[in-house]
């Protein structure tokens, strides 16, 4: 069992069935959660609460150094300006691949006077998040 290095995990933007790596990307978080449904009733065993899993959801938070000429970043800009969903792909260093359709909900650019220009983004999944394995990983 080996530990995974974060620098080997990358975010891609899908365009015409081609995965384009997001240049300058530094950090990313794949958030996955589900609703908790209360299934407790008067006949629950030992008067303990019972919970069931409800609807699931996912989102991605990502940031990096802005590479304005990057093709993937340009796709994000266009999708955000046109209020269109984004096909997002996350590939882990182990070869595990997560794919889904998302809305770009937050897309700021930070322009400090004494450092690199950076971007950050928040994407909220629209529908299922698929998990597969990358060939030859």
Structural domain boundaries in the chain: 6-34+53-133
The yes-or-no verdict on residue 81 having pLDDT over 70 is yes
Q: Looking at the chain, which runs of residues are DSSP E strands?
A: 10-15, 18-21, 25-38, 51-65, 86-91, 96-106, 109-110, 118-125, 130-133
pLDDT of residue 107: 97
pLDDT, one tens digit per residue, over 100-116 is: 999 999 999 999 999 99
pTM: predicted TM-score of the whole model, two decimal places: 0.88
The yes-or-no verdict on residue 5 having pLDDT over 90 is no
pLDDT of residue 136: 66
pLDDT, one tens digit per residue, over 22-58 is: 999 999 999 999 999 999 999 999 989 999 999 999 9
Q: Specify the CATH class of 6-34+53-133 in words.
A: few secondary structures
pLDDT of residue 12: 95
Average pLDDT over residues 86-110: 95
Contacts of 87 (CB under 8 A, 6+ apart): 13, 14, 15, 99, 100, 101, 102
């Amino acid at each position: 069992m080996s530990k995974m290095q974060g620098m080997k995990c990358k975010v891609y933007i899908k365009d015409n069935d081609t995965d384009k790596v997001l240049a300058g990307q530094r950090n990313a978080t794949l958030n996955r959660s589900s609703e908790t449904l209360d299934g407790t009733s008067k006949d629950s065993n030992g008067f303990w609460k019972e919970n069931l899993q409800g609807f699931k959801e996912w989102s991605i938070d990502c940031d990096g150094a802005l590479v304005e000429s990057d093709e993937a970043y340009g796709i994000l800009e266009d999708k955000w300006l046109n209020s269109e969903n984004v096909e997002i792909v996350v590939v882990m260093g182990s070869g595990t691949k997560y794919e889904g359709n998302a809305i770009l909900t937050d897309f700021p650019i930070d322009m400090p006077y004494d450092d690199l220009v950076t971007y950050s983004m928040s994407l909220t999944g629209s529908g299922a998040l698929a998990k597969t394995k990358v060939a030859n990983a």
